[in-house]
């Protein structure tokens, strides 16, 4: 009897002692579940409601946090191929050679057009009285135009067919540059379309482009197939209707390596995303494949003054954040109006523009 009673007492003591252990074991899984739930909730919130600040670190970003990348050792430099090395040497030599500034520097106006130039009368008025300060080159890809202005007569170059958004456009631009570079007095090069018009008078454009800034401030559509020669950090997208100085034009003509990369792998995947960061104004507010076209009824003094008074570049990024980027337009160290030219104007707008020019060109 004593033995059985002792055994029963021992069982009770073991049950009493094991009870706290069971409660402790039950608590551990509960805390783990709570912790996992909190972490999951945080990750879901971070994904659904990402931070909106420009300096925010995105958890799901492909690039990761910049702070983390700063701790990582730099990637070893890739050894250049013979072709890349030759290209770099030639380009650096061109850019590092002090430019020979002629006594009378000119601006080369290069017109990339399909046939007729609808605004030839307007450009004729723009050029009048400034002979010796400019050159004109015309690439007519379809029909040979008939010119009435003496500034355009016999200024056509050898032209080939051009397809919008294809490498043939680059070929035509390089062809224009090649012809314009033959004249050593040409120091700045402007590419214009048949729908482009001048927003300023000639003197303003000339002083704007020929000015050289001696200070430190005087400078996607990316495919991994462009590696290794074209790294993503070196890739930039800009407007087609460019202006460039002579050294940069020479660098473009000397290149064949990067031209082939763009010819083989650069495709028009997002026509609506073309940026307007250049001295040529264009209105993409309609969100279409092509910018807004201005017709006769649109042409008013107020419209032209509004365009000529724009002093900031506004760009909305094409990612999910749709970030609005605003940058002032600087000229000679001061904020000035951004644009020298504008497009896209339909031929029917010519008479209205002739009535307003040059009144809208003054600041």
pLDDT tens for each residue of 133-173: 999 999 998 888 889 999 999 999 998 888 877 778 888 98
Question: 7 or 33: which carries more pLDDT confidence?
Answer: 33
Residues 186-215: what's their mean pLDDT?
Answer: 85
What's the pLDDT at 265?
43
Helix (H, G, I), strand (E, B) or coil at 103: coil
Above 70 in pLDDT, residue 208?
Answer: yes
Could you tell me the pLDDT band of residue 237, with boundaries at 50, 70 and 90?
Answer: very low
Residues 84-113: what's their mean pLDDT?
Answer: 76
Percent of the residues in the chain that have a pLDDT greater than 70, as a whole number: 54
| Closest-CA residue to 185 (of 99, 98, 93) | 99
In the block, tokens 């770099």 appear at 88
In the block, tokens 């050894």 appear at 79
pLDDT tens by residue, 8-45 = 444 444 444 444 444 445 455 676 776 667 766 666 65
What's the pLDDT at 44?
62
What token pair was written down for 257?
């390596």
Helix (H, G, I), strand (E, B) or coil at 244: strand
What's the pLDDT at 326?
85
What token pair was written down for 326?
């605003």
Helix (H, G, I), strand (E, B) or coil at 37: helix
Could you tell me the pLDDT band of residue 248, with boundaries at 50, 70 and 90?
Answer: low
- In terms of average pLDDT, the best of 18-32, 85-99, 207-221 is 85-99
Question: 350 or 217: which carries more pLDDT confidence?
Answer: 350
What's the pLDDT at 291?
86
What's the pLDDT at 212?
54
Could you tell me the pLDDT band of residue 329, with boundaries at 50, 70 and 90?
Answer: confident
pLDDT tens by residue, 299-314 = 999 999 999 999 887 7
- In terms of average pLDDT, the best of 154-158, 257-261, 267-271, 329-333 is 154-158
Above 70 in pLDDT, residue 174?
Answer: yes
Pairing of strands 106-113, 134-140: parallel
What's the pLDDT at 316?
73
What's the pLDDT at 16?
44
Cα four-point dihedral sign 102, 100, 192, 200: negative
- Are residues 240 and 274 in contact, defined by beta-carbon separation less than 8 angstroms? yes
Percent of the residues in the chain that have a pLDDT greater than 90, as a whole number: 31
* Average pLDDT of every residue of the chain: 72
- In terms of average pLDDT, the best of 150-159, 238-247, 306-315, 319-328 is 150-159
pLDDT tens by residue, 48-71 = 455 544 444 444 444 445 444 555
- C-alpha distances in angstroms, 319 versus 155, 220, 225? 43, 9, 21
Helix (H, G, I), strand (E, B) or coil at 191: strand
Above 50 in pLDDT, residue 319?
Answer: yes
Could you tell me the pLDDT band of residue 1, with boundaries at 50, 70 and 90?
Answer: very low
| Closest-CA residue to 118 (of 143, 95, 135, 98) | 143
């Amino acid at each position: 009897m004593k033995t059985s009673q002792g055994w029963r007492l021992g069982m009770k003591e073991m049950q009493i002692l094991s009870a706290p252990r069971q409660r402790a074991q039950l608590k551990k899984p509960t805390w783990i579940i709570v912790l996992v739930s909190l972490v999951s909730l945080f990750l879901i919130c971070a994904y659904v409601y990402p931070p909106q600040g420009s300096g925010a670190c995105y958890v799901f970003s492909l690039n990761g946090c910049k702070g983390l990348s700063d701790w990582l050792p730099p990637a070893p430099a890739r050894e250049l191929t013979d072709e890349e090395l030759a290209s770099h040497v030639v380009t650096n030599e061109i850019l590092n050679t002090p430019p020979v500034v002629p006594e009378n520097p000119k601006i080369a106006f290069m017109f990339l057009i399909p046939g007729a130039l609808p605004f030839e009368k307007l450009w004729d008025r723009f050029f009048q009285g400034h002979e010796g300060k400019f050159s004109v080159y015309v690439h007519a890809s379809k029909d040979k135009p008939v010119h009435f202005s003496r500034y355009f007569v016999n200024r056509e170059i050898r032209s080939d067919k051009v397809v919008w958004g294809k490498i043939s456009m680059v070929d035509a631009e390089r062809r224009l540059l090649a012809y314009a570079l033959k004249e050593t007095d040409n120091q700045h090069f402007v590419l214009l379309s048949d729908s482009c018009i001048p927003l300023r008078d000639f003197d303003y454009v000339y002083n704007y482009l020929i000015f050289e800034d001696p200070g430190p401030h005087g400078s996607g559509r990316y495919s991994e197939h462009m590696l290794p020669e074209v790294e993503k950090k070196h890739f930039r997208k800009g407007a087609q209707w460019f202006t460039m100085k002579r050294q940069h034009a020479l660098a473009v003509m000397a290149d064949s390596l990067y031209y082939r990369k763009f010819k083989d792998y650069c495709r028009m995947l997002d026509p609506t995303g073309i940026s307007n960061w250049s001295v040529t104004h264009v209105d993409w507010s309609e969100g279409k494949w092509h910018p807004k076209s201005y017709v006769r009824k649109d042409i008013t003094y107020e419209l032209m003054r509004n365009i000529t008074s724009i002093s900031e570049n506004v760009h909305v990024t094409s990612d999910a954040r749709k970030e609005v980027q605003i940058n002032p337009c600087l000229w000679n160290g001061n904020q000035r109006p951004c644009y020298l030219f504008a497009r896209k104007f339909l031929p029917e707008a010519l008479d209205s523009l002739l009535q307003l020019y040059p009144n809208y060109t003054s600041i």
